[in-house]
Amino acid sequence: MILALPGSIRAVRMSGSLNLINREIMLLSTILPFLLAPGALSELPATSFNSEPKDPITTGTVTAPQDGEPEWVGKADFGLTFLSGNTESTTAAASAELKYDAAMYAWLFSANYAGVRNTTAGNATTTSRLYAAGGQYNRFMDEEKNLFYYGKASARKDVPVGLELRWDAGVGAGYTWYLADDKKTFFSLEGGPSFVHEENVGAAETDAVNARIAARYGNPLWDEWMFGAKTEYFISLDETDDQSLTGEMTLDWTMADDWYLTAIAAVAWDKTPSAGFESTDRRFVVAVGHTF
């Protein structure tokens, strides 16, 4: 079963303290790679963990083999709903993740699709058609795989909600803290400069250097349940108001060894949307997935 509920709320422009907070975020993101340089976090206790930080674009658990040669591992899920009556609606969502682990580096890739099409009195409209994909390379600086440098790129497209295309490419540094003795509960923070290209419906293309901050969190609630959260924020370093944020929370239930049920709540926000479009879109998905 899948439930998708795109919606929107208007972003509220705030001045004064908000502008100050934005500038502090810009500064923090720019200097974060230097703050996380080797030795900068030497006072923090390092713990050993056999799994690597996850892709900031994805938060689902993709566990790599712990012994022997590294190999590709991944997961994929899909959900579909048909509604009929006074209004006909078709909703579909799919996502996939792929990861390659080695002793001191990791490759991570992800892809997402979500679409909603409504038909009323014979008139069909598509209210959302999201395509998103990304990849990241992490280079670990210690055997515990806490500190890492990264290079990443991602792209996002959802024309019905006003986004023709947004892609970014950047580099930076990150650090992962493991918060429990079982080392399955973690919090990871990363940031650095990124180049962002954006095309909004009915607006001119823009290119700008942005400051980027991303965070993610994972916590096994019970033996077969995993809670995850992630967010990624961009703010332009040029003299513009361009800012964007994506966030997602997931709850996975392992039904069998290789099968799981996932519930997803996601949000996408753009401070400067195209004329006639709202700033915020939300989606809620329930899907069945398989790990491989």
Question: pLDDT-derived band of residue 7, with 50, 70 and 90 as boundaries?
Answer: very low
Quick one: tokens of 135? 């990849």
Q: How many CA atoms lie within 13 A of 237 on its CB side?
A: 15
pLDDT tens-digit readout, 236-257? 998 778 899 999 999 999 998 8
Range with lowest mean pLDDT among 33-42, 101-110, 176-185: 33-42
Residues 81-97: what's their mean pLDDT?
85
User: What pLDDT does 128 receive?
Assistant: 86
Q: How far apart are the first and last CA of the chain?
A: 22
**For the chain, what percent of residues have pLDDT higher than 90?**
52
Q: What is the mean pLDDT of the chain?
A: 80
In sequence order, the 6+-apart residues with CB closer than 8 A to the CB of 178 are: 47, 49, 146, 185, 186
- Please return the burial class of 280, using the count of CB atoms within 10 Å of its CB with bins 0-12, 13-18 and 19+: middle
Between residues 48 and 280, the one the model is more confident about: 280
In the chain, the amino acid numbered 237 is L
pLDDT on residue 119? 83
Amino acid at 194: S
CA distance 159 to 128: 7
Lookup result for tokens 């502090």: 24
Residue-level pLDDT at 223: 86
List pLDDT tens digits, range 46-75: 433 333 333 333 444 454 445 557 789 999
| pLDDT computed for residue 32 by the predictor | 52
Segment 14-26 shows an average pLDDT of 46
Per-residue pLDDT reduced to its tens digit, 208-237: 999 999 999 999 998 899 999 999 999 999
Q: Which range, 33-37, 42-46, 60-64, 115-119, is most confident?
A: 115-119
Question: Looking at per-residue confidence, does 31 or 4 come out higher?
Answer: 31
- pLDDT band of residue 1 (cuts 50, 70, 90) is very low
Taking the complete model, does pTM exceed 0.85, yes or no?
Answer: no
Q: Name the β-bridge partners of 118.
A: 89, 125
Residue 15's pLDDT is 42
Q: Of 19-23, 80-84, 200-204, 250-254, which gets the smallest average pLDDT?
A: 19-23
Q: Is the pLDDT reported for residue 45 higher than 80?
A: no
pLDDT digits (tens, 9 = 90+) for 168-206: 999 999 999 988 877 789 999 999 999 999 998 988 888
Give the dihedral sign, CA 285/155/35/176.
positive
